[in-house]
Amino acid sequence: MRTPTASGLDDVVAAETVLSDVDGEAGQLVIRGHTVEQLVATSTFEDIVGLMWNGAMPGASEREALRASLARARQDAFRMLPSLGGGLDAPDAMSALRTSVAHLWATGDPREDRIRLTAAIPVFGAAWHRAKAGQPAVKPDATRTHAADYLQMLSGSAPEAGQIAGLDAYLCCVVDHGMNASTFVARAVASTGSDMVSAIVAAIGALKGPLHGGAPGPVLDMLDAIGDPDRARGWLEAELAAGRRIMGMGHRIYRVRDPRAAALERAAANLEHGSTATDRLIMARVVEREAERLLMERHPGRNLRANVEFYTAVLLEAVGVPRTLFSATFAASRVVGWCAHVDEQRQVGRLIRPKSRYVGPM
């Protein structure tokens, strides 16, 4: 009997991992033993880096050592800017990242490669953004945390504590998510024995797609286009009638609301000092409710609910990240997960090599 084709590889288990577990029925994401809600509420980016790469939450001195290593590596990445050729001329940030990160050489030391890759992404992303605006790149500040320095490299001025906390919450939220498309790509490259830089460049290419990491920019475009909460239903109906997908809704794995949507919605609300939500947040909540209702009518039983991208858009806008950099900011966090998966895949030491079924002429 012929094996059925697993188009989309739904339900195919391609690896065992200690890094994260996604329970799509319960709506639970566990990252190295911690729920995503816990991590978002209590951790910084440096904590998550230590957790992902070393298996446990770092203590104060390890956290400071990680912060300092990342800060030094951001300065090294900054010094590379003049040698990136046309990388930063790319029309979109993800193309710029893919091309610029490809300029790094792998050292062969996984600890060194992970730090250099993680540091390079915000430096290259911020430099791309400023070049597009006709502004000079801002030198990294070695005294800052990763999140604070990213915001400073974007705007050129010192970020507020609330902005830093909001960005840290985001970076903790999206660091890893099971065998998503970009992680699978990174692991497939690693399984060939190729180097870490090549695996991360390939993963950036996968994350760029709108069905994976490219949705939050379009979510804001949608909120802008709707303009007024009263217009939400009509606008969404017209989109669906035209055969277009509602960005930020639906997920391959979750059959309930993505737990990261709730964590990011809460982080966005906290930015307002726990009191009133911004107009954007109010609008997003109305649009989410209407989209959920319409998708339920069209696909009863499928339960298409808000995914991570929906409130990513609201939170990142509120902390001052421009929408053209939303996917690149996703990459600034997910690179930590990709690197951990590359290391894990290397331990497996087995080539990932599925089959295809030939249906052309003989």
Which residues contact ligand COA (rule: CB under 6 A)?
211, 215, 245-252, 295, 299, 302, 304, 307-309
- Going by the DSSP 8-state scheme, the letter that residue 88 receives in this structure is G
- Going by the DSSP 8-state scheme, the letter that residue 139 receives in this structure is P
Q: Cβ-closest residue to ligand COA?
A: 250
Among this protein's residues, is 299 annotated catalytic?
Answer: no
Among this protein's residues, is 309 annotated catalytic?
Answer: yes
Of the pair 183, 191, the CB lying nearest ligand COA is at 183
Query: In angstroms, what is the minimal distance from the CB of 8 to ligand COA?
Result: 6
Query: In angstroms, what is the minimal distance from the CB of 268 to ligand COA?
Result: 17
Of the pair 14, 80, the CB lying nearest ligand COA is at 14
- Give φ, ψ of 2 to 5 degrees: -80, 140
Of the pair 27, 250, the CB lying nearest ligand COA is at 250
Q: Are 242 and 217 in contact (CB under 8 A)?
A: no
Query: In angstroms, what is the minimal distance from the CB of 215 to ligand COA?
Result: 4
Of the pair 68, 211, the CB lying nearest ligand COA is at 211
State the chain's maximal CA–CA distance in angstroms: 68
DSSP class per residue in 174-241:
TS--SS-HHHHHHHHHHHTT--HHHHHHHHHHHHTSTTTT--HHHHHHHHHHH-SGGGHHHHHHHHHH
Query: In angstroms, what is the minimal distance from the CB of 349 to ligand COA?
Result: 31
Catalytic residue among 46, 265, 288, 309: 309
Q: The tokens of 162 are what?
A: 């609330």
User: Under 8 Å CB-to-CB from 242, ≥6 apart: which residues?
Assistant: none
Please count the CA atoms within 13 angstroms of the CA of 40 that sit on its side-chain side: 26
Distance between CA atoms of 209 and 218, rounded to whole angstroms? 12
Of the pair 92, 141, the CB lying nearest ligand COA is at 92
Catalytic residue among 129, 146, 251, 341: 251
Query: In angstroms, what is the minimal distance from the CB of 252 to ligand COA?
Result: 4
**Residues known to be catalytic:** 251, 309
